[in-house]
Amino acid sequence: MYNVLGKRVTEGKTECDKALRLSRKIKKEVNGFRELTENIKGDISKKQKDGPGPLSLNQEMEWCKSMESEGKKKLNGVEDAKKMVEQLIKYSKEDCLEPMRGEIADWKEKVEEAMSEVAARRSSLSKVMEGTGSLEIN
C-alpha cells in the first residue's frame, strides 16, 4: 500500500514539475511576443514622429528586414506556445487554463499586426528608394 501511494505521489510531483517547466516556457515566449511588438510599435511611432531622420534609407531597410526576420521567428514561437498551452491544459485538473488558448491567439494577432506595420514601412521605403513615392506610414 505504501509503495502504491509513494508511486502516485512521485507521479503527481513529476506532472507538477512538467507543468511548471511548461508554464515558464510559455511565460518566456509571451514576454518575447510583448517585447517584439512593443519595440516595433515604439520604433515605428518614433520614426513617424521624427521623420526620416539621420538614418540612411539603406539602414532603415535593414531595420525592416531585421524586424521581419525576428517577427517570423516569433510567429513560429506562437505556434510552439500554442502546443505548450495544450500540453499544460492536459496537466490541469480543471478548465481554469482554457483562457490561455485565446490569449495565445491574441498574441499571434498582435505579432502579425506589428509585422504588417513593418511591411508597410518597408514598402514605403522601397518606393522612396525607387524615386516613386514619399515616406508615408499610416
Q: Where are the domains of the chain?
A: 2-48+61-130
Which residues, other chains included, contact 38 with Cβ-Cβ below 8 Å and sequence gap of 6+? none
Quote the percentage of the chain above a pLDDT of 90: 32
Asked if residue 21 lies in contact with residue 28, where contact means CB atoms within 8 angstroms, the answer is no
Kindly state the DSSP code that residue 66 receives in the 8-state scheme. Answer: H
Q: What is the predicted pLDDT for the residue at 43?
A: 87
What pLDDT, in 10s, does the model give residues 28-84? 999 999 999 999 999 888 877 776 555 577 888 898 999 999 999 998 999 999 999
For residues 103 and 130, which has the higher predicted lDDT (pLDDT)?
103
**Residue 137: pLDDT band by 50, 70, 90 thresholds?**
very low
End-to-end C-alpha distance for the chain, whole angstroms:
69
Cα angle value 45/27/23 (rounded, 5°): 165
Q: What is the predicted pLDDT for the residue at 35?
A: 93
Whole-structure pTM value: 0.75
